[in-house]
Amino acid sequence: MDLIALLRELSDAFGVAGFEDDVRGKIERLIAPLVDDVRTDVLGNLLASRKGKGDLTLMLDAHMDEVGFIVKWIDDKGYLRFAPLGGWDPRILPSHRVEILTRAGERRQGVIGSAPPHILSEEDRKRPIPIESMFIDVGASSREEATEMGFRIGDPLTIHPPFAELRPGYVSGKAFDDRAGCVVLLEAARRLAEAPLKTNVVFAFATGEEVGARGARTAAYQIDPDVSLSVEGTIGADMPAVAEENQPVRLGRGPAITVADRSIIVPRRMVEGLERVAEENSIPYQYKLPTYGGTDAGAIHVTRAGVLSGVVSVPCRFIHSPTSTLRVDDLENTIRLVAGFVKALPDVLALG
């Protein structure tokens, strides 16, 4: 499968935080032939391991979950009320079509509604509508009807516009945060499959990052790694209305190496190791400007007695919204950096 086909497959999978089964199933099928062992833990993390020659263990982490919503109430007129799972900007929600995963495993459609502007006061029209005031129209006219249609409190949902290649090598789709990272891990696993490794590698596909790095925390505890590298899809903000010094990362400049975000200050040794791998392999790279966002690395590096942790990201515009965009050459260069880093261990960090 080429990179775009792989990204499309994972981007279109359902994986709202806490409901990652669909995306996990797809990743499991793809990675199983490339590793020595695959298992799913209690929190739903998928852990795929390869044995290396040495004693050192590297945890490569990407999160499977995406931001979404959960049905919190079905009113007597048949409208679904909902709450966010992960960070959303409420201004962008009204009138989007949503995909709701029912208990029966069906993906049903609905539309996010809010009071029509025609009936709002001038003052209210200027204010953003809070999520609590929005509702989902599924075509039911009563609670009973909505229930008969299969909807229940607790059903997860997301906004799912179709994946598209906007121009060759430039794609748009949902959940690139962090399916782009999942693609990087899968493709790195494939490219390393024939190579003998000096380090044990666990490809950890984590659950629940968007609600507080919940999966990565327990994954790191059981893997007990010496080193970890989290791979993210992060805030590409090279766009009108954002000053250059406020653009966390930019598209087309290659993988973004994190120096510090709100969840971790990356040890210099890790940053310099990644820089060295990039420079030795002629891979373009950029820094993610401090101190935007947080990642699984925030939970991983403080596990047990501490883990030497770093983060690299694929630049993606419009994350935490229904559709992101990314450049496939950035994705490719991130794969090269991650695979190169694995091969360069443990020497590149002066470990082992």
Is 209 a residue of the active site? yes
**If binding is defined by CB under 5 A, does position 177 make contact with Zn ion?**
yes
Name the segment binding Zn ion (CB under 5 A); options: 15-23, 36-44, 226-234, 343-351: 226-234
DSSP 3-state of 173: strand
Q: Omega before 226 cis (within 30°)?
A: no
Piece of the chain touching Zn ion by CB under 5 A; list 159-167, 191-199, 229-237, 333-341 = 229-237
State which amino acid sits at residue 48.
A
Both tokens of 274, joined, read: 């990644």
Task: Work out the end-to-end distance of the chain between its first and last CA atoms, rounded to an integer number of angstroms.
Answer: 35
Closest approach of Zn ion to the CB of residue 85, in Å: 13
In the bound complex, what is the minimum distance in angstroms from residue 68's beta carbon to Zn ion? 13
CB atoms near residue 351 (< 10 Å):
16
We find the least distance from the C-beta atom of residue 174 to Zn ion, in angstroms, to be 13
Choose the stretch contacting Zn ion; rule: CB under 5 A; options: 26-34, 188-196, 227-235, 282-290: 227-235
20 binds Zn ion (CB under 5 A): no
Contact yes or no for 135/81 (Cβ under 8 A):
yes
Give 155 or 177: the residue with its C-beta nearer to Zn ion: 177
> Which residue among the candidates 209, 210, 232, 332 is catalytic per the annotation?
209
Q: Does 178 bind Zn ion (CB under 5 A)?
A: yes
173: amino acid identity, one letter: G
DSSP-derived 3-state class of residue 214 = helix
Task: Compare residues 11 and 200 and give the one whose CB is closer to Zn ion.
Answer: 11
Within residues 230-259, the interface with Zn ion by CB under 5 A covers 232
**Is the peptide bond prior to 240 cis by the omega test (within 30 degrees of 0)?**
no
Handedness of CA 136, 138, 141, 145 (dihedral sign): negative
Beta bridge partners of 317: 236, 325
User: Closest distance between Zn ion and the C-beta of residue 272, in Å?
Assistant: 24
Binding site for Zn ion (CB under 5 A): 177-178, 232
Catalytic sites, residue numbers: 209
